[in-house]
A and B are shown apart, each in its own frame.
Chain A
């Protein structure tokens, strides 16, 4: 129950922040009218009246909050269509990209950790070097590189748009790269720590091989820090999506958000932010539920 309440609080806070940031600075009329020559005074007056922009701030806030609560996400200033309609066509591609990238990133990390850690100091150094590199190289640059090699030079994958599984390979790989790097780093560290613990010695003493020890025991330990990194991963996925969607000309929430924020398209910005906040709350909830499954110690704590 308190978890639900804090979730609702997060959503309300995010929405209110959006409203304040976008309402207090700049010129909403210009935002509504978008590019092109500035509006005539008559057109300006009409917009002000139609959107109630001359009402006091708190009236507008309450009005806006009421419509949000009733499930009405409003009408996009810039694109002149319902926000729900605008988002409906953009959620799918972003979700596809994010899920593929997350699965790919986690998969690579688990494989690399399971089979490449503990192969001596040199291997560890290479591994650490690679994961640091993958986190520090700009996503944009990786995307451009992959495009240049695997789409323009070797025409293996399409460069343009959301064109089914083939079109998903390069962008999701680009986005998975830093996630895999960061996860590998913390997971490998955790495996090393676990393998120096007394229980590892006990397992070995019972005749288990290194691989068996890794797969059945210590790898499980490494999942804990990985799970606690989900917040960071989610941020990575949302932030990275903006760049990826631009480089690969994919539709998606990232580009919608950037365009909407630049144009002060309040209804769209709020909708995207609320959507991300909801995803954040939901994923953290799932992680809280999954952690005890992975780590029996937490289960015991909960039972007590």
Chain B
């Protein structure tokens, strides 16, 4: 790819060429002395990976832990621009249907296989193969129709329709590259993590389910993403990840120096942990969709916009967020978090708690009577909403918040029935649309997450995540246009309109944005964060302790 064509692409994507040194995440390099080589970093996380095959996994933790094992074609910066990584450059055809990537020629997999155009093709074929049973990574590929190898190090990805999220998709761990030999010889056993060879600076050495995963530095690595402060092999010999589901154990483990970094510190413990000597708390905003309540608009009572707006006006979010999270988290104003590209900042302050409005709306909708329990009724039927949730995928914070929401709505005369179910039961209810309220938070650095959440072709039964079963031609039109255009300004405008309409129609009630809170031991240095809010594990080093 010529310098000119790359410039034109970047101009097309509205990127400002700040130079490749301006790196992705928040730069927070510790400058006390030069980086030291050696040591094993101990990292405690709350959840286990559902699969170690990045092409199958849907859990966010898989992407976090495997990032150092798998490199991507392109790298994504917090400023919304894309930079070369395993691809030295790329061109997009004027119709937006063909992406031509030129690949680095010096990259190898940890098992010695060369990284080339054929490896890219084989990996994409592995995701597309129905036998792989890929869910989320497959969805990331969007309308990918064909992969052409046009040279040892040139590959063309052809789309059946313009797809503005392709570069973002290619920047995620989910579309990282596994050695063609692993795919060929162990394609069915990749989920166990025992046969993963990637191109990254670390290799996955061993996995003990429910206990730990051990990663080791790969000698000879020299192709990190642009912006990495370390051009060569990683500093630490390896890292050991412990799966510690109990909040108390994770907090205690980092507090007593048994781990160096602990993920997902509970909000209630942050103020105490900050005072503790020998460690620090760092918080990072998470891009994507904040924890939100989606109202099922396909059946009563929430098929009535007035009732949905009444719900919106009945919840004193400011007070609840402050009370539940002790001032640690922010209330949300939109179905995107402020960190997400395209966030509609002008929504702040435009809606909120107003019991009078709620009462007026409910009276107008015919729910003017109250029954013996104080709930509003219309034609003898109580205003009632089913809110099932999967106990496995909930957290204590979220449950507390859900109960507070239930309480607010009770005061307004709306009954919310919170029911804990197991994940399989939950899945079947969700697919059948048997719920009135469903809550979810979704981390993603691509505002196209709005398409998954609100497009009429993305119903849950069809593999999408349209939680509220919204069918709104206006939203569809904006979301389709945003997917087709490569102009980020136009995209932001369209996604802004989507966010405004979601609030105006009360399709969803955004609740709060939780940053990712990490506790780090003093000796952990070189901390830089990925766009996702997690530390770039491959760059950390350990000071003498």
A148 and B246 CA atoms in complex are apart in Å by 13
A152 and B255 CA atoms in complex are apart in Å by 7
Asked if B463 and A89 sit within 8 Å, CB to CB, the answer is: no
Binary interface encoding of chain B residues 255-285 relative to chain A, with 1 for a CB under 8 A from any of its CBs, else 0: 1111100000000000000000000000000
Asked if A250 and B211 sit within 8 Å, CB to CB, the answer is: yes
Interface membership of A227, Cβ < 8 A: no
A36: nearest chain-B partner, CB-CB: B58
Binary interface encoding of chain A residues 146-161 relative to chain B, with 1 for a CB under 8 A from any of its CBs, else 0: 0110011101001111
When distances are taken between beta carbons in the complex, the residues of chain A under 8 Å from B243 are: 249
When distances are taken between beta carbons in the complex, the residues of chain B under 8 Å from A46 are: 130, 133
Asked if A27 and B427 sit within 8 Å, CB to CB, the answer is: yes
A112 and B268 CA atoms in complex are apart in Å by 41
Asked if B136 and A26 sit within 8 Å, CB to CB, the answer is: no
Interface membership of A224, Cβ < 8 A: no
When distances are taken between beta carbons in the complex, the residues of chain A under 8 Å from B488 are: none
The segment from A119-127, A215-223, A240-248, A273-281 found at the interface with B is A240-248
Interface size range on B against A: 35 or more
When distances are taken between beta carbons in the complex, the residues of chain A under 8 Å from B188 are: 80
Interface residue ranges of B387-432 to A (CB < 8 Å): 391-393, 422-425, 427-428, 430-431
Query: Taking the nearest CB of chain B, how far is it from the CB of A73, in angstroms?
Result: 16
Asked if B130 and A249 sit within 8 Å, CB to CB, the answer is: no
Q: With A40-B463, A80-B51, A249-B243 known to touch, is A159 a contact of B424 (CB < 8 Å)?
A: no
A162 and B210 CA atoms in complex are apart in Å by 10
A89 and B208 CA atoms in complex are apart in Å by 7
Asked if B424 and A27 sit within 8 Å, CB to CB, the answer is: yes
Asked if B192 and A249 sit within 8 Å, CB to CB, the answer is: no
Asked if A26 and B422 sit within 8 Å, CB to CB, the answer is: yes
Interface membership of B50, Cβ < 8 A: yes
Query: Taking the nearest CB of chain B, how far is it from the CB of A94, in angstroms?
Result: 10
Most buried by B among A26, A36, A153, A246: A36
Residue from B189, B192, B244, B425 in contact with A160 in the complex, judged by beta carbons closer than 8 Å: B244
Asked if B210 and A151 sit within 8 Å, CB to CB, the answer is: no
A37 and B134 CA atoms in complex are apart in Å by 11
A73 and B390 CA atoms in complex are apart in Å by 28
A201 and B79 CA atoms in complex are apart in Å by 90
Interface membership of B474, Cβ < 8 A: no
Interface membership of A39, Cβ < 8 A: yes
A46: nearest chain-B partner, CB-CB: B130
When distances are taken between beta carbons in the complex, the residues of chain B under 8 Å from A89 are: 208-209
When distances are taken between beta carbons in the complex, the residues of chain B under 8 Å from A148 are: 248, 252
When distances are taken between beta carbons in the complex, the residues of chain B under 8 Å from A78 are: 50
Binary interface encoding of chain B residues 173-202 relative to chain A, with 1 for a CB under 8 A from any of its CBs, else 0: 000000000000000110110000000000
Asked if A36 and B59 sit within 8 Å, CB to CB, the answer is: yes
Interface membership of A47, Cβ < 8 A: yes
Asked if B253 and A160 sit within 8 Å, CB to CB, the answer is: yes
Asked if A40 and B462 sit within 8 Å, CB to CB, the answer is: yes
A246 and B246 CA atoms in complex are apart in Å by 7
Asked if B192 and A79 sit within 8 Å, CB to CB, the answer is: yes
Asked if B422 and A264 sit within 8 Å, CB to CB, the answer is: yes
When distances are taken between beta carbons in the complex, the residues of chain A under 8 Å from B430 are: 38
B250: nearest chain-A partner, CB-CB: A249
When distances are taken between beta carbons in the complex, the residues of chain A under 8 Å from B189 are: 81
Most buried by B among A27, A153, A252, A261: A27
Interface membership of A1, Cβ < 8 A: no
Interface membership of B108, Cβ < 8 A: no
Q: With A35-B423, A247-B246 known to touch, is A86 a contact of B209 (CB < 8 Å)?
A: yes
Query: Taking the nearest CB of chain B, how far is it from the CB of A284, in angstroms?
Result: 29
Interface membership of A234, Cβ < 8 A: no
Query: Taking the nearest CB of chain B, how far is it from the CB of A233, in angstroms?
Result: 24
Asked if B245 and A80 sit within 8 Å, CB to CB, the answer is: no
Interface membership of A105, Cβ < 8 A: no
Residue from B136, B208, B209, B257 in contact with A155 in the complex, judged by beta carbons closer than 8 Å: B257
Interface membership of B461, Cβ < 8 A: yes
Interface residue ranges of A85-116 to B (CB < 8 Å): 85-86, 89-90
Instruction: Please list the residues of chain A having a beta carbon within 8 angstroms of any beta carbon in chain B.
Output: 25-28, 30-31, 33-43, 46-47, 78-81, 85-86, 89-90, 144, 147-148, 151-153, 155, 158-162, 245-252, 255-256, 261-264
**Considering the complex of A and B, which 8 residue pairs feature the smallest CB-CB distances, nearest first?**
A36-B58, A30-B427, A40-B463, A27-B428, A80-B191, A152-B252, A26-B424, A264-B424
Instruction: Please list the residues of chain B having a beta carbon within 8 angstroms of any beta carbon in chain A.
Output: 44, 50-51, 53, 56-59, 130, 133, 135-136, 139, 188-189, 191-192, 208-212, 242-246, 248-249, 252-253, 255-259, 391-393, 422-425, 427-428, 430-431, 452, 460-465
- A sample of 29 inter-chain contacts (CB < 8 A) reads A26-B425, A30-B428, A31-B424, A33-B135, A34-B50, A35-B59, A36-B58, A36-B59, A39-B135, A46-B130, A78-B50, A80-B188, A81-B192, A144-B248, A151-B258, A155-B257, A159-B249, A159-B253, A159-B256, A161-B211, A161-B212, A161-B242, A246-B246, A249-B211, A255-B210, A262-B423, A263-B392, A263-B423, A263-B424
Kindly list 15 other residue pairs between chains A and B, CB separation below 8 angstroms, not including A79-B191, A249-B210.
Answer: A30-B423, A31-B427, A35-B393, A37-B452, A39-B135, A81-B192, A85-B192, A147-B252, A155-B257, A160-B242, A249-B246, A256-B210, A262-B422, A263-B424, A264-B424
